[in-house]
Amino acid sequence: MLRAPAMPRPLSSVIRPLVLPVSRAALGAAGIEWNARPRGRIRNGVTAVVMLALAAITPGCGDDDDAPTATAPSASTAAAPPALAAGEIGALLDALHQAHSRVRGAVGPHRLEVHATFDLTPQGEPATPEPAVDERRPTPQHVDDRLELLWLTTAVNAPRFSLSQSNEHDRGRDIVVDGEQIYTRQRNRGWYVGPLQADLYELWLDDAQRSVYDVIALAAPQLAVSVTPTDGGFASGDGSALRFTLARAASRDLTRVVDHPRSAWRTNAEITEVEGTVVVDARSGAWVSADVRVGFSVPGPDGRPLAGQVAVTALATPVDVATPLTVPSGAQPLLERTRYDAERARLLDGLAGR
């Protein structure tokens, strides 16, 4: 059975996801599990960072199967939902957590560009010069992650897009889907091509779309917002938009903390800084741009506090449907692994949930 290489876990990945994006590598080294599905008032799961840096930002792709579906604005909405226009944080999270399939139905062909950075630094000196056996001693971590998605079709069942993500640690993936063909390559390697056999790519697209959500969800327990109407919305609507100005609230609302065993550390995390803006389309609720920075502090595994910071800049722009898709030339066929019929049957039964 053909297996396409997975995109790097975002900041959803640095917080999650690329797709945006989380740096699981950084937090893992510090003894922290970044991600997870929210429960309670926050109804959206953190899918892992299309981005490595948002490990605090990037949860696992496709981990939201058992999470309640967020009620997000649709393309046919005549105006912003009252809760979103009123600046309710829950409504903002719901709007930012929309699936890419819904957003592209409202926006049409478009380009997403996301740049995420993630830093985690232990504060002070360790109690002893050398760590004890099995002691986890964190070291400074930094991830700089970039993601670009180009979606070039209005057809429902004929995907045409390119998705690229990379970081400064020499890791990256490139994906091109042209109808029934998928082209993939890992960083510093050649292209491979094979038939598009499943809709796994939707998980990668969702991670990219939710990159802004990931950083806002991190700040949510201590987030304050003000909202003002503005221009700059998508032309597929009426061009109107809502600008959210973000700040750190004086008090914490623990009902907004992602409730999952792997994200238990967030309960003890203090949000030390929140600043920036997010602009969303007033009709669809999809983000148009973001420039956000969130700082936090959390106890480290060796007793020292860890100071972290996540920063995300993102821009969504409509493109002409006639924009050419660059299809790699000279790609090698991605060979199918030989499997016995009985093994194939077991695999297919498992996929079917039997």
pLDDT tier at 14, thresholds 50, 70, 90? very low
Inside any domain, residue 332 = no
Inside any domain, residue 103 = yes
Which range of 67-71, 198-202, 248-252, 260-264 scores highest in mean pLDDT? It is 248-252
Lowest mean pLDDT segment, chosen from 49-58, 84-93, 189-198: 49-58
pLDDT tens, residue by residue, 173-191: 999 999 999 999 988 889 9
Extract the tokens encoding 274: 């929140």
Inside any domain, residue 271 = yes
* Higher pLDDT, residue 243 or 76: 243
Q: How far apart are CA 206 and CA 34, in angstroms?
A: 18
Helix (H) or strand (E) holding 297: strand 287-299
Domain that holds residue 73: 14-322
pLDDT tier at 327, thresholds 50, 70, 90? very high
Dihedral, CA of residue 108, residue 48, residue 45 and residue 269, to nearest 10: -130
Q: How far apart are CA 351 and CA 261, in angstroms?
A: 26
Inside any domain, residue 117 = yes
Contacts with 138 (C-beta within 8 Å, 6 or more apart), sequence order: 29, 30, 31, 120, 122, 300, 301, 302, 304, 306
Report yes or no: 292 and 215 within 8 Å, Cβ to Cβ. Answer: yes
Give the whole-number percent of the chain exceeding pLDDT 70: 73
What is this structure's pTM?
Answer: 0.75
What Cα–Cα distance (Å) separates residue 216 from each residue in 52, 273, 322? 16, 12, 34
**Three-class SS state of 315:** strand
Inside any domain, residue 330 = no
Query: Residues 308-328: what's their mean pLDDT?
Result: 95
* Higher pLDDT, residue 52 or 106: 106
pLDDT tier at 159, thresholds 50, 70, 90? very high
Inside any domain, residue 189 = yes
Which range of 67-76, 188-197, 305-314 scores highest in mean pLDDT? It is 305-314
Lowest mean pLDDT segment, chosen from 11-25, 210-224, 241-255, 304-318: 11-25
Inside any domain, residue 7 = no
> Counting runs of H as helices and runs of E as strands, what totals does the chain give?
7, 14
Inside any domain, residue 36 = yes
User: Per the structure, how many domains does the chain have?
Assistant: 1
**Three-class SS state of 165:** strand
Report yes or no: 257 and 207 within 8 Å, Cβ to Cβ. Answer: no
